[in-house]
Amino acid sequence: MELKINVIDAFTDATFKGNPAAVIITENWLSVELMQSIAVENNLSETAFVKKIDSQHYEIRWFSPITEIEFCGHATLAASFVIFAKSNHLKSIDFFAKAVGNLSVTEMDNGYIQMSFPNRQPKVVDDIPLALLNGLSIKPVEVLLNDQAYFVVYEQEADVKNVMPDIELLKQLAPFDIVVTAKSSEYDFISRYFWPANGGYEDPVTGSIHSGLAPYWASKLNKSELIAYQASKRGGKLICSIKGNKVYISGKAVQYLEGKITV
């Protein structure tokens, strides 16, 4: 069986930056075992599998090389980029994902793709796990938690850039991942994302976690429109907007690869 595959660099306007994701669009779901095997072979943060319902409606699933992921923003951006590129008349599409429900996506006139995510604002953790405290080289100012990850807040953005994780210790926090964040001088806030239990060492740019980061920093900075930067080696810029129970995450994307795989 041959399948069309696209690899897209998401949350960037330049190849080799942002976060690469593979996108495979099918008429029917492949088996879970096959989807996981393809994700392992691709060895990217995520491979998005998209099932077409009609021209504007799709179901989406995301697989890291380790496991199926409940919610992934950069691969949703990548999948949207592929669909919009192949259907020039479309300006909006809707995805359905079991864990997070409906995700609306709009192609903006300025070249950005805007995604509508649920507001997943984290809550303060009083009893901080020792694996978290000992698993990061810099102690946090505050720790919060949502359905996806522990949020480690630092006083200085230099702490975010310089912190060293102990991956084996952080793996004990499964099923939760870890995001470290601080206010930024150039942007509104920056972050880095470690996910040893679900994907690997460090994710280049993580759209989904900004559905928690953006509401947190919106309340701290008293503003609803924010510019974020994920300070990984590849790096990525995200535009965030909070409107009630929705968080709108916008980014750009570029094509890296278009081809076929044989399975």
The catalytic residue positions are 46
Q: Which token pair is 58?
A: 């799709």
The H or E element spanning position 5 is strand 2-10
Residue 219: CB atoms within 10 Å:
12
Residue 183 host element (H or E) = strand 177-183
User: Tokens 């999948």 label which residue?
Assistant: 79
Token digits for 260? Answer: 């076929």
- Structural tokens at position 230: 């994920």
Strands 253-262 and 236-243: unpaired
Q: In this structure, what token pair is assigned to residue 76?
A: 């949703």
Quote the CA–CA distance of 245 and 205 in Å, as a whole number: 23
Any residues with CB less than 8 A from the CB of 53 and at least 6 apart, and which?
59
d(CA 241, CA 263): 41
